[in-house]
Structure 1
Amino acid sequence: MLGLPAEFEQFHWMVDMVQNVELGLVVLDADYKVQVWNGFMTHHSGKQAHEAIGQSIFDLFPEIPKAWFMIKAKPVYNLGCRSFITWRQRPYLFKCRNVRPITQQAEFMYQNVTLNPMRTPTGEVKSLFLSIQDATAEAMIELKNQ
């Protein structure tokens, strides 16, 4: 019985971390529908979790080229390996406003994105999670020095 409160507390901490980490976290099912949408994504995209969850990522963000993104996701689902999108390949996956005061010279947030497999207890990959990193400061420095 003593383990239950500690497990509950750890679960609560995990949810709090996912919601407050300075990294976008999005879980997509095999149909590319949003299952998880964290606070970073709400803050930067302007879309609330209740608006995003259950929706196709392509309907929420029509700027994402569907065929291109599905090619990026294919090794995640088929091989269970990570896939990467850097701001140099494509400045952003999700068109989000730039909210950093130091880097306001950018009209949008440059992003580095990792597509990660999510395995079921049997080892199948039925979902993937995206981790979205704000790369605006890095991009601004590099683009300024070109």
Structure 2
Amino acid sequence: MNSLPAEFEQFHWMVDMVQNVDLGLIVLDREHNVQLWNGFMTHHSGIQGHDAIGKSLFDIFPEIPKEWLQLKTKPVYDLGCRSFITWRQRPYLFKCRNVRPVTQQADFMYQNITLNPMRTTTGEVKSLFLSVQDATSEALASLKI
């Protein structure tokens, strides 16, 4: 019989999934400060979570156009709707190396990004999470590189 409460075990599972899922997960507050940085992002960007959490995304990745990203996040915060950035619009948001050993035909990871609102218990959107999908294979096949 397990002595841990079921809720604690489920919380542990959730943390383990967030850290090990094959998808980048980043939580940002309204000022674009990083609140969560998962293992996928550490592995692909080379930036450790403790070096990202609490810092502005624009300080970590100064190449991201601030005004452009603010326009992409505005409807997520203001309207509570999702927003998307595909590799066709912008090949990547985060300059990450392509870590696929067989298909090293790209110098970076092409990415599809989904910006999702995170609601408080009162329904207010104070944070959002970005999911970062590696779209390198799709992009290379489409571009025939």
TM-score, normalisation: structure 1: 0.96
Q: Give, as a single letter, the amino acid of the residue that structure 1 aligns with 2:94.
A: F
Q: For structure 2, list consecutive stretches of 5 or more residues without a partner in the other structure.
A: none
1:111 aligns with 2:111: yes
Q: Give, as a single letter, the amino acid of the residue that structure 2 aligns with 1:105.
A: Q
| 3-state SS in 2 of match to 1:128 | strand
Superposed CA RMSD = 1.4
Q: Give, as a single letter, the amino acid of the residue that structure 2 aligns with 1:133.
A: Q
Cα distance in 2 for partners of 1:102, 1:57 equals 31
- 1:87–1:139 Cα contact (<8 Å) kept: yes
Q: Give, as a single letter, the amino acid of the residue that structure 2 aligns with 1:67.
A: E
Deviation at 1:63, TM superposition (A): 1.1
With over 3 angstroms needed to count, the CA separation of the structure-2 counterparts of 1:109 and 1:126, relative to structure 1, is same
Which residue in 2 is equivalent to 1:55? 55
| 3-state SS in 2 of match to 1:84 | strand
Cα distance in 1 for partners of 2:47, 2:31 equals 20
Cα distance in 1 for partners of 2:82, 2:54 equals 23
Deviation at 1:102, TM superposition (A): 2.7
| 3-state SS in 2 of match to 1:142 | helix
Which residue in 1 is equivalent to 2:124? 124
| 3-state SS in 2 of match to 1:71 | helix
With over 3 angstroms needed to count, the CA separation of the structure-2 counterparts of 1:79 and 1:3, relative to structure 1, is farther
What is the identity percentage for the equivalent residue pairs of Structure 1 and Structure 2? 78
Cα distance in 1 for partners of 2:138, 2:103 equals 10
Cα distance in 2 for partners of 1:77, 1:30 equals 8
Which residue in 2 is equivalent to 1:17? 17
Cα distance in 2 for partners of 1:21, 1:140 equals 23
Cα distance in 2 for partners of 1:13, 1:31 equals 29
Q: How does 1:1-146 map to 2 (within 5 A)?
A: 5-144=5-144
Deviation at 1:3, TM superposition (A): 9.7
Q: For structure 1, list consecutive stretches of 5 or more residues without a partner in the other structure.
A: none
Deviation at 1:4, TM superposition (A): 6.1
Cα distance in 2 for partners of 1:144, 1:64 equals 27
Cα distance in 2 for partners of 1:73, 1:4 equals 39
Cα distance in 2 for partners of 1:74, 1:4 equals 41
- 1:103–1:140 Cα contact (<8 Å) kept: no
| 3-state SS in 1 of match to 2:90 | coil
Per-residue CA deviations over 1:25-48 (Å, capped at 9, x if unaligned) read 000001100000000000000000
- 1:33–1:53 Cα contact (<8 Å) kept: yes
Moved over 4 A (4+): none
